[in-house]
């Protein structure tokens, strides 16, 4: 079993839709949760960073962590074509710098 | 513009060649990493350096040899690679003990 599971997609939505991206994880020691966005032929860029359970909002993006069910989500409101990218979830136990990534979900927002 | 710069962006090499990937970070971080990204697989951590010292080697074959001369520069020396080593190689940096990693654009490596 992979430590972090993520549906690879592709996920295709119309412009303006609410997008929900999800990951599940198996290691209850994970305390830090991140979402990275990776455009084609680019490196991943950090989008959202949360510690422990709860919600974090940044503009059109909301990250949600439910440690009881080991489930992490990224919501994108009013999705735009520029949001088309691969979204990677990542987790860490904290300290030691070691991140564990999901495979990434490819998102396409169509006009 | 990313604070982590990788060169070259693309590299094609034969199995008997020797080449090096270079990474430079301008973020003042003291931890640097090499990751491998293959299609439909999660990013795989290869090496971790903290304050120029290697602190993690994730069972990487010896045909990959990292070098970290200072906290701002990281190299990955390649020799006698296999076609299955073709992938996107990503460099990242972070503060020591920090979990937020900042990535470079990557080097797309093709081994023929």
Give the nearest partner residue to A97 out of B97, B103, B106, using CB atoms: B97
- For residue A95, list chain B residues with Cβ-Cβ distance below 8 A: 97
- pLDDT for the residue numbered A51: 87
Measured in whole angstroms, how far is the alpha carbon of residue A35 from the centre of its chain?
4
Question: Locate tokens 């084609």: which residue?
Answer: A40
How many residues appear in chain B? 112
Q: Is the pLDDT confidence value at A48 over 70?
A: yes
Residue B4 to residue A101, Cβ atoms within 8 A: no
Distance, in Å, from the CA atom of B99 to the CA atom of A97, rounded to the nearest integer, reads: 5
- pLDDT for the residue numbered B97: 75
- Chain A interface test: which of B92, B99, B100, B102 (most A C-beta within 10 Å): B99
Tokens of A84: 């088309």
Tokens of A87: 């979204």
Chains A and B: how many Cβ contacts under 8 Å?
60
Reported as a single tens digit per residue, the pLDDT across B6-61 is: 999 999 999 999 999 999 999 999 999 999 999 889 999 999 999 999 988 989 99
Closest to B64 (Cα-Cα) out of B42, B4, B41, B54: B54
Q: Is the pLDDT confidence value at A1 over 80?
A: no
Which residues are CB-contacts of B84 (< 8 A; sequence separation ≥ 6)? B111
- Chain B interface test: which of A6, A8, A43 (most B C-beta within 10 Å): A43
Q: Is the pLDDT confidence value at A4 over 80?
A: yes
Reported as a single tens digit per residue, the pLDDT across A8-35 is: 889 999 999 999 999 999 999 999 999 9
A65 touches chain B (CB under 8 A): no
Distance, in Å, from the CA atom of A15 to the CA atom of B47, rounded to the nearest integer, reads: 40
Q: Give A40 to chain B, closest Cα distance, Å.
A: 10
A8 touches chain B (CB under 8 A): yes
Reported as a single tens digit per residue, the pLDDT across A52-103 is: 888 999 999 999 999 999 999 999 999 999 999 999 999 998 765 688 999 9
Distance, in Å, from the CA atom of A45 to the CA atom of B12, rounded to the nearest integer, reads: 25
Q: Is the pLDDT confidence value at B92 over 90?
A: yes
């Amino acid at each position: 079993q992979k430590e972090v599971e993520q549906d690879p997609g592709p996920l295709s939505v119309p412009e303006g839709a609410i997008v929900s991206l999800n990951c599940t994880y198996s290691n209850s020691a994970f305390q830090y949760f991140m979402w990275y966005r990776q455009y084609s032929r680019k490196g991943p860029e950090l989008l959202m960073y949360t510690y422990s359970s709860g919600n974090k909002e940044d503009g059109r993006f909301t990250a949600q962590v439910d440690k009881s069910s080991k489930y992490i989500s990224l919501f994108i409101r009013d999705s735009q074509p520029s949001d088309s990218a691969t979204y990677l979830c990542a987790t860490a136990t904290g300290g030691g710098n070691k991140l564990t990534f999901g495979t990434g979900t490819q998102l396409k927002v169509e006009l | 513009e990313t604070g982590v710069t990788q060169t070259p962006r693309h590299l094609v090499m034969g199995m008997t060649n020797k080449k090096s990937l270079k990474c430079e970070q301008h973020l003042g971080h003291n931890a640097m990493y090499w990751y491998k990204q293959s299609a439909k697989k999660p990013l795989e951590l290869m090496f971790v350096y903290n304050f120029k010292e290697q602190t993690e080697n994730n069972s990487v074959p010896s045909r990959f040899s990292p070098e970290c001369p200072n906290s701002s520069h990281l190299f990955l020396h390649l020799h006698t690679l296999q076609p299955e080593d073709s992938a996107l190689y990503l460099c990242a940096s972070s503060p020591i003990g920090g979990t937020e990693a900042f990535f470079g654009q990557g080097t797309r490596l093709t081994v023929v």
